[in-house]
């Protein structure tokens, strides 16, 4: 049995829990203090870590100091610093003290709230917080528990997509009279829709050949055309297929485009498709009245999802999904094994969230969104969004003023899509190549991180402003860096 | 813009981060100190929380003290205390200081490691830790990166099941020549297999009528019969169906049964089925040489999963999945959007874990498993498992000594399945009823929490020994409680 005993082996002793946890708090605070000193994107080579760590497991316990030293010496150099104020890539992942506190409580209680009885507070707080968040976004009451709908926290948009696609699929298969019709179901999205929906549709068994990517173009700022959707639906019906599901996006990943929800909703209503709205990134902005209009038409949707873990100060992971007819979700996802049967579930007076998601086990994620909302209040949450939008406007103005650059699409939120003008290079192709080199030069400097997209064949540089720590001077420094790297490239070109 | 400004609104300021986080550490330590004072299972009524919280969101920030007061007054009474040493229900969810520290670092760094470049350390540490864990379980090198396979961390067994089922499905559909064959695919499990596999099979589009539940019985201790599997496969082939996938379990949820992996592997090899091993609970026990034999035959499997978040001191959530042919997983799950293209991925010298799982976004979960292993060392981890098994043996002896009770199946790990003998009641049906009442009496006392199962028509009381804080005296107290409640019931019967 080794030399340990229950008296000496105390893996959750409150005293060492406190001491060791506080040491790690200091370590993380120190990381935040110094975060600007690190190159934003890690410059390690593939395989760097295996060379530093033994390939076998220690037999004896190691002291925390040794582990933290390794985190400092080996892990941090391999991080791309998403919390750096100079991180402008992808979409941000907001950490905050409030989100962190919620995550600590979640991990500390470590309850598994698969059904109501397994921890009533976990279920009830989640329902309350989803209604809170839905009200912040001014969702119709048809999406709220206070109305006729309801919401759930998932880990990611893809999980949410899998679940609503399965719900839509199972409803359709029931109506069509058998599982063999699965090969007739068709899902629609645009070529700007997050690829996660294509993956999710395939995961739930929709043939990949039945996924329609509606083409977008520069002329509509890369938003989805309701006419083209209608036409695609009609074609599919003529071919004997069954249009099932449309995903509209509010704030696409490549360029921040907004699909015309109200008009798309008319089409999906007419043809009885399930309309899902993916507001993963820009949904957070709708807490500001002046930005809420982008969600107009949401009442025509069947479901909507957004990620507080992006722009809403909630540490990873946290995705809100609201659905108008929760019974369609639970019809598809419910399991009722004897081992989990209990009076509360039988009474049907409670929500059992295992039937609203893929997995059985689930963390108490609601705590962090609840603390984020209370600790900041709507006032500061709106300030958070607006200050990033102000910074994005400022950056946009920088781009406009420099005649070597151009904005590719109008900015709606805090994502600015720009490029060196093709004229600055010999031809369009070289323009793409030059912009690619510019991104490479910015990122390899370690002083900032941006990312890229291709929309309508155009290579676009994306500057997503929105980390928790980003301030105006970081945006100013980014612009200087871009100008400096562009200058060097244009001289050498 | 309200009265806030970037100077006063600092949601991730290191000083307040430190102070507030340490206050929450003290709060959690206090919770652990007092955890035995709470009734293990919450006794709140459905809807208790909505009555206590406002239904609208605060406009102004609230102080942390108010929030923690609400956690104390409103949330804790609604928790079922999974970390209580008197929690013997379901399977345990081990928290530990080490797991908590890892979770804090994960949440503090808050990186999103979807591909290698988005945070190389997150990917590389995960690959290293999966190999470590695989070596601890003495998996063949065909499951390790050091060999020809590889591993990934998911949040739950169901996610792992969805992914391996999709991989098996897509391989089969390719071989069969088209998506329309999806309705021919058949999945096999036993009536003791975790219901999550049935849910996962339906999620990936396998018709529910093509899910075969092989019946188990008391005579084989509820393990799956290879002969019955073979016979079911042969029947399906005769009917023109295509046997696809078999899930074998090492340590079932209802009774801790172990399916005969080696013999089942022979059948799946012969008929070319994908064999998955679900070792969610009992996999952890295989780090002890004397218990490893239950995994014999694993070399015949295509994939295996187990959950360190159950019995391996790793806070929620953490599920290890190993796969022999990772290319089958990535063939099914890969997406290659322009926005994520980068040199490292193109070089194919790196792992991009987004292609090994459902979601795009992913947390740096490897940190916690890595710290759990290093901070405890194999010696203490084995002690952890063995001490629970010793306690289970002790509990088993209590049951054996009391002639009113009987063990329903032999104990293999730290789950004891027992009941009041049917003779103690008038008839078998009443025996079920009496045992149901006994569970109710134990749980409503608040002094301990057990759960139940039904196997082979028999109502079984499950005592799963394994929380981090459980010590021998808790097990002794549980037995006294059971005797006391049984006595009261038998007198009143």
Q: What's the CATH number where A231 sits?
A: 3.40.640.10
Interface confidence, given as ipTM, is 0.97
Q: Using an 8 Å Cβ cutoff, are B108 and A28 in contact? A: yes
Does residue B280 form part of some domain?
Answer: yes
Peptide bond into A317 cis (omega under 30): yes
Please give the Cα distance from B476 to A453 (Å, whole number): 63
Query: Which residues have C-beta within 8 Å of that of residue A68, sequence separation ≥ 6?
Result: A23, A24, A27
Residue A5 has pLDDT above 90, yes or no: no
- What is the distance in angstroms between the Cα of B192 and the nearest Cα belonging to chain A? 10
- pLDDT digit string, tens, across residues A155-185: 999 999 999 999 999 999 999 999 999 999 9
CA distances from B104 to A106, B72, B193, B359, B467 (A): 11, 21, 34, 22, 21
CA distances from B453 to A47, A337, A342, B55, B358 (A): 47, 9, 12, 38, 31
DSSP A240-309: T-EEEEEEEEBS-TTT--B--HHHHHHHHHHHT-EEEEE-TTGGGGGGSGGGGGGGTTGGG-SEEEE-HH
Q: Whose CA is closest to A153, among A330, A335, A285, A322?
A: A322
Flag whether residue A447 sits within 8 Å of chain B, measured between CB atoms.
no
What pLDDT is attached to residue A3? 52
Please give the Cα distance from A415 to A405 (Å, whole number): 16
Q: Which residues of chain B, if any, have pLDDT below 70?
A: 1-4, 6-7, 424-431, 493
Flag whether residue B135 sits within 8 Å of chain A, measured between CB atoms.
yes
Flag whether residue A190 sits within 8 Å of chain B, measured between CB atoms.
no
A117 CB neighbours in chain B (<8 A) are: 41-42, 80
- The answer to whether the Cβ–Cβ distance between A159 and B358 falls below 8 Å is yes
Taking each helix axis as running N to C, give the angle between helix B157-176 and helix A196-203, from 0 to 180 degrees, rounded to the nearest 10. 80
Please give the Cα distance from B383 to A428 (Å, whole number): 66
DSSP B29-78: HHHHHHGGGS-SS--PPTTTTTTTS-SS--SS---HHHHHHHIIIIIGGG
Please give the Cα distance from B293 to A179 (Å, whole number): 41
If you average pLDDT over residues A208-212, what whole number do you get? 97
* Closest by Cβ to B124, choosing from A49, A182, A206: A49
Please give the Cα distance from A335 to A355 (Å, whole number): 7
| Beta-strand pair B150-154/B211-214 | unpaired
Does residue B425 form part of some domain?
Answer: no
What pLDDT is attached to residue A1? 41
Count contacts between A and B (CB, < 8 Å).
Answer: 509
Count: domains in chain B: 1
A185 CB neighbours in chain B (<8 A) are: none
- The answer to whether the Cβ–Cβ distance between A109 and B82 falls below 8 Å is yes
CA distances from A369 to A96, A315, A414, B137 (A): 11, 9, 22, 37
Beta bridge partners of B415: B464
What pLDDT is attached to residue B251? 98
What pLDDT is attached to residue B429? 59
- What is the distance in angstroms between the Cα of B444 and the nearest Cα belonging to chain A? 12
Does residue A108 form part of some domain?
Answer: yes
* Closest by Cβ to A82, choosing from B1, B112, B471: B112
Peptide bond into A248 cis (omega under 30): no
What pLDDT is attached to residue A6? 67
Please give the Cα distance from B383 to B376 (Å, whole number): 10
Flag whether residue A161 sits within 8 Å of chain B, measured between CB atoms.
no
Does residue B15 form part of some domain?
Answer: no
Flag whether residue A98 sits within 8 Å of chain B, measured between CB atoms.
yes
Name the band, by pLDDT with cuts 50, 70 and 90, for residue A491.
confident
Question: Tokens 């200091």 map to which residue?
Answer: A26
A363 CB neighbours in chain B (<8 A) are: 316-317
Flag whether residue A387 sits within 8 Å of chain B, measured between CB atoms.
yes
What pLDDT is attached to residue B117? 94
Does residue A389 form part of some domain?
Answer: no
- pLDDT digit string, tens, across residues A55-99: 889 999 999 999 999 999 999 999 999 999 999 999 999 999 999
Calculate the dihedral angle through the C-alpha atoms of A318, A322, A323, A329, rounding to the nearest 10 degrees: 20
pLDDT above 70: percentage of residues in chain A: 97
Query: Which residues have C-beta within 8 Å of that of residue B270, sequence separation ≥ 6?
Result: none
Name the band, by pLDDT with cuts 50, 70 and 90, for residue A305.
very high
Please give the Cα distance from B460 to B443 (Å, whole number): 15
CA distances from A421 to A334, A409, A434, B267 (A): 54, 13, 10, 64
Name all contacts of A175-180 with Cβ < 8 Å and 24+ positions apart. A176/A242, A179/B183, A179/B207, A179/B208, A179/B209, A180/B183, A180/B207
A10 three-state secondary structure:
coil
Q: Provide the 8-state DSSP code for A78.
A: G
Which pair of structure tokens corresponds to residue B394? 């002790």
If you average pLDDT over residues A456-461, what whole number do you get? 92
Work out the number of other CB atoms within 10 angstroms of the CB of residue B398.
19
Flag whether residue B150 sits within 8 Å of chain A, measured between CB atoms.
no
Does residue B435 form part of some domain?
Answer: no
Q: Which residue range(s) make up the domain with A232?
A: 101-373
Does residue A71 form part of some domain?
Answer: no
Q: Using an 8 Å Cβ cutoff, are A307 and A280 in contact? A: yes
Does residue A310 form part of some domain?
Answer: yes
Taking CA atoms, what residue in A is nearest to B359? A158
């Amino acid at each position: 049995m080794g030399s340990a005993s229950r008296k000496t082996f105390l893996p959750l002793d409150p005293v060492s829990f406190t001491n060791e946890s506080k040491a790690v708090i200091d370590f993380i605070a120190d990381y935040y203090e110094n975060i600007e000193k690190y190159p934003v994107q890690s410059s390690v080579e593939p395989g760097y870590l295996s060379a530093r760590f033994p390939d076998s497991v220690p037999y004896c316990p190691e002291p925390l100091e040794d582990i933290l030293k390794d985190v400092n010496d080996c892990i941090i150099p391999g991080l791309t610093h998403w919390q750096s104020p100079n991180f402008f890539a992808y979409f941000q992942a907001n950490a905050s003290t409030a989100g962190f506190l919620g995550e600590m409580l979640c991990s500390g209680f470590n309850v598994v709230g698969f059904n109501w009885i397994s921890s009533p507070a976990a279920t009830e707080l989640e329902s309350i917080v989803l209604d809170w968040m839905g009200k912040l976004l001014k969702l119709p009451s048809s999406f709220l528990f206070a109305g006729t709908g309801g919401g759930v926290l998932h880990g990611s948009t893809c999980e949410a997509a899998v679940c609503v696609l399965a719900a839509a699929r199972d409803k359709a298969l029931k109506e069509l009279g058998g599982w063999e019709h699965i090969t007739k179901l068709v899902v629609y999205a645009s070529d700007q829709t997050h690829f996660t929906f294509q993956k999710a549709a395939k995961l739930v068994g929709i043939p990949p050949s039945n996924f329609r990517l509606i083409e977008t173009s520069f002329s509509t700022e890369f938003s989805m055309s309701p006419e083209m959707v209608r036409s695609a639906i009609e074609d599919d019906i003529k071919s004997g297929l069954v249009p099932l599901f449309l995903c509209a996006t509010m704030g696409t990943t490549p360029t921040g485009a907004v699909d015309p929800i109200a008009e798309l909703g008319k089409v999906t209503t007419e043809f009885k498709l399930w309309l899902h709205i993916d507001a993963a990134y820009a949904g957070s902005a709708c807490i500001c009245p002046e930005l809420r209009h982008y969600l107009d038409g949401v009442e025509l949707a069947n479901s909507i999802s957004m990620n507080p873990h992006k722009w809403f100060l909630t540490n990873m992971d946290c995705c809100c999904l609201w659905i108008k007819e929760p019974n369609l979700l639970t019809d598809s996802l419910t399991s009722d094994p004897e081992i989990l049967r209990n009076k509360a579930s039988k009474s049907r007076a409670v929500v059992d969230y295992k039937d609203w998601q893929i997995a059985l086990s689930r963390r108490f994620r609601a705590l962090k969104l609840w603390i984020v909302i209370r600790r900041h209040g709507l006032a500061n949450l709106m300030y958070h969004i607006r200050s990033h939008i102000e910074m994005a406007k400022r950056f946009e103005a920088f781009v406009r003023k420099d005649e070597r650059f151009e904005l590719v699409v109008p900015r709606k939120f805090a994502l600015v899509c720009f490029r060196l003008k093709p004229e600055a290079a010999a031809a369009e192709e070289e323009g793409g190549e030059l912009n690619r080199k510019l991104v490479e030069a910015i990122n390899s400097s370690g002083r900032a991180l941006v990312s890229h997209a291709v929309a309508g064949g155009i290579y676009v540089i994306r500057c997503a402003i929105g980390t928790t720590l980003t301030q105006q001077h970081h945006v100013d420094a980014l612009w200087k860096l871009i100008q400096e790297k562009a200058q060097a490239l244009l001289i050498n070109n």
